[in-house]
Structure 1
Amino acid sequence: MPGAPQAERWTTAARRYIGARQALDTIETAAIMGQGGAAPR
């Protein structure tokens, strides 16, 4: 199918972006809730 390689690269990048956003949401939620260890020095 024409354009399939570009679509696959775009989909892979979109999934990576979604994973990164979910990780940031987890980190931010933990910070707001006061969970986790002390900040590294």
Structure 2
Amino acid sequence: MKRLIKTTINGQDLELAVSPNQTLADLLRYELGLTGTKKGCEMG
């Protein structure tokens, strides 16, 4: 079940439906096209 969140990114107010297991990095890269967002090694 997706959740509705409200946020401001780069000065733009957004209302987004996101999955509970979706990472912020994935949201920024794949949903919003902000490809400058990078993930680290993804390991502890």
> Given the two structures, how large is their TM-score scaled by the length of structure 2?
0.21
- More helix per residue: 1
Larger radius of gyration: 1
Q: Which has the higher strand share?
A: 2
